[in-house]
Amino acid sequence: MTRDMLTRLGPTLVSLTLALGVGAARAEDAVTLSLTIKDHQFEPAEVHAPAAKPIIFAVKNLGAGAAEFESGALHFEKVIAAGGEALIHVPPQQPGRYKFFDDFHRATEGFLVVP
């Protein structure tokens, strides 16, 4: 690599390094919300998270069958086997009330509330 190429790439590499560092710090600031699914119910049925913080849903499926943890508003879907667990990462949200549900049992629903 020539010196001219390094000179031109320098600012880009610095920006990329800073962006990656900020991303890592944000992941550490994430709020973890624990949920279980059993007997076609979320426990708890309503969870709260602060605005502008990344969110991690830690979901355990204690039911006898698979569940599909999904939210159109939060843009995720994840199939969780019976007895399985999953971590679902969600970007920071604005204040509001966001529905999530089990797509295999649509009456099974809960809410994320961001004050």
Which range of residues forms the domain containing residue 66? 29-114
How many structural domains are present in the chain? 1
- The answer to whether residue 16 is domain-embedded is no
Q: Give a yes or no: residue 107 inside a domain.
A: yes
User: Domain for residue 19, yes or no?
Assistant: no
Q: Is 47 domain-assigned?
A: yes
Q: In which residue ranges of the chain is pLDDT below 50?
A: 5-6, 9-10, 12-25
Q: Which pTM was predicted?
A: 0.76
In SS3 terms, 24-53 reads as: HHHHHCCEEEEEEEECCEEECCEEECCCCC
State the chain's mean pLDDT as an integer.
Answer: 86
Output the domain CATH number for residue 78: 2.60.40.420
